[in-house]
Amino acid sequence: IPVGTFDLVIFGGTGDLSQRKLLPALYHRYADGQIPEDSRIVGVSRTDMTDEAFRAFAFEACEAHTKDSIEKDCWAKFEKLLSFATMDATDPDADWSGLKERLGGDDRPAIFYLAVTPKIYVPICEAIGAAGLAGGDARVVLEKPIGTDLNSAKAINSGVGAVFAEDHIYRIDHYLGKETVQNLLVLRFGNTLFEPLWNRTAIDHIQITVSESVGVGDRAGYYDSAGAVRDMLQNHLLQLLCLIAMEPPNSIEADEIRTEKIKVLNALRPIESKYVGADTVRAQYEAGTVDGEQVKGYLEELEGDESDTETFVAIKAWVDNWRWARVPFYLRTGKRMRTRHSEIVVQFREAPHAMFGEDQAQSNRLIIRLQPDEGVQLYVQIKEPGPGGLRVQSLPLNLSYAESFQLRYPDAYERLLMDVVRGNLALFMRREEVEEAWEWVDGLLEGWAAANTPVHTYAAGLEDGPVEARMLLRQDGRDWWSNG
Ligand code: BG6
């Protein structure tokens, strides 16, 4: 369904995010006929670049970062939407006329996408306001991480909020744009099967894993000041936890969903420093082999600098409410792990009576595979065929997205960018969500600092993180689910 005409301004238009995600996403939406011809997409940065040069730059970016090849005729039409304004938007004396003359007019919303460091979110918003562009239906899109702790997040939220109303601020967490993540809502609330069992009486524990095989590469500068906690846990993993743990919202209206997510974040038990040793693991990768290739350790990627930044974190978390009392949520994420896979495992309790013998007692497990090989598996117990004794096996009922839907998977940014144009805030975070998440994460980071929690190591590509992460579950008589 086509969206209405819009103007999109990308601050950081020549940056990494713009190249890898935003420009390819816009091209795909255009190629699918969703973006009207009279929309405008203006890249902005300090780089001196003509409109033509930006179009060539965008073409290269799309070619490099899309799986399908670019269709020449379609590109020729799409590139007419693109232009570029050279400007330092944080400079109070900057001349905004180049940008203004590239916009289409007042008959459409102007969307300002801040694909720049969060440190300059507030000055840029103030400058947009001072240039007279923040009025009417103007919207601003903020990338994560919003700040580096609760105080800096509050400062950003207040500064941006002084220019744009809350319902014109779109805080992106691209995990919420992933098809399989959105499917969590449908799986939980579109079926009668799960909800009656979705609580402490039937569920033993939940695991959330976001495992990456990539290292920090050329993002080491940013990453070293963030680490896995700020880069992944504070946002992506906590958002997944919210979707798994939240109460059914009254509707799929943005504020209904966001209110329920905030309640989960509110119920997250603060990690006290006396528990950080037992309930958390922080670690950093060393040199190793990934996909047969020798790769550097984290410190080598930093080129010799000392650092105790974690590239892996595992945590036992608790949601202190009626539904989840005494059900641990084990979260882990890391770079340079053995494989790239993200999944949520809902481990049900064993049947109350071991009718087929204690040694055969197994329990149901629901695996929601977010990426790659997106799908859902429900492990059920069945009888092993054969005339011998009665043997029980646990096997999956398997729903593979690729087999069920033979469609191109839109990237999360395609969905999210179009939602901004449509004015649909459901998949974006409200101010309190970001701040509640930081409050919990600040507690963890302070706990680590106070307890001087050691940074363990793991060999890149060898295992799914350090041995200590395995011990985190073993001490509770459990194991991480691993299907290969
Ligand atoms: C980003 C993080 O938000 O998410 C990156 O900053 C990480 O460090 C990326 O690699 C992972 O996203 P995806 O979609 O590849 O799982």
Task: Take atom 14 of ligand 1 and give the residue whose Cα is closest.
Answer: 175
Please state, as a whole number, how many other Cβ atoms lie within 10 Å of the Cβ of residue 288.
Answer: 19
- Please choose from 231, 240, 429 the residue to mutate so as to test ligand 1's pocket, defined by most ligand atoms within 8 A of CB: 231
Handedness of CA 318, 241, 267, 468 (dihedral sign): positive
Ligand 1 contact via 212 beta carbon (within 6 Å): yes
Task: Take atom 8 of ligand 1 and give the residue whose Cα is closest.
Answer: 231
Task: Take atom 6 of ligand 1 and give the residue whose Cα is closest.
Answer: 231
What is the b/e burial string over 210-229, where b = at least 16 CB atoms within 10 angstroms of the residue's CB?
bbbbebbeeebeebbebbbb
Per annotation, catalytic residue among 28, 168, 205, 236: 236
Cα torsion at 243, 248, 252, 255 (round to 10°)?
-80
Q: What is the pLDDT of residue 463?
A: 79
Nearest Cα residue to 337 out of 478, 212, 199? 212
Q: What is the pLDDT of residue 483?
A: 61
pTM metric for this prediction:
0.95
How many angstroms is it from 229 CA to the middle of ligand 1?
12
How many angstroms is it from 249 CA to the middle of ligand 1?
28
How many angstroms is it from 221 CA to the middle of ligand 1?
16
- Please choose from 212, 222, 416 the residue to mutate so as to test ligand 1's pocket, defined by most ligand atoms within 8 A of CB: 212
How many angstroms is it from 72 CA to the middle of ligand 1?
30
Ligand 1 contact via 301 beta carbon (within 6 Å): no
Residues annotated within a binding site for substrate: 174, 178, 212, 231, 335
Segments of the chain scoring below 70 in pLDDT: 483-484
Q: What is the pLDDT of residue 484?
A: 46
Please state, as a whole number, how many other Cβ atoms lie within 10 Å of the Cβ of residue 450.
Answer: 12
How many angstroms is it from 391 CA to the middle of ligand 1?
43
Ligand 1 contact via 231 beta carbon (within 6 Å): yes
User: What is the C-alpha end-to-end distance of the chain, expressed in Å?
Assistant: 40
Contact 115, 10 (CB under 8 A): yes
How many angstroms is it from 107 CA to the middle of ligand 1?
36
Pairing of strands 392-400, 375-383: antiparallel
Q: What ligand 1 atom has the least distance to the C-alpha of 210?
A: 16
Task: Take atom 13 of ligand 1 and give the residue whose Cα is closest.
Answer: 175
Question: Is the bond into 145 cis (omega within 30 degrees of 0)?
Answer: yes
DSSP 335: S
Distance CA 432, CA 263 (A): 10
Contact 78, 87 (CB under 8 A): no
Ligand 1 contact via 343 beta carbon (within 6 Å): no
Contact 338, 463 (CB under 8 A): yes
Q: What is the pLDDT of residue 303?
A: 80
28 is an active site residue: no
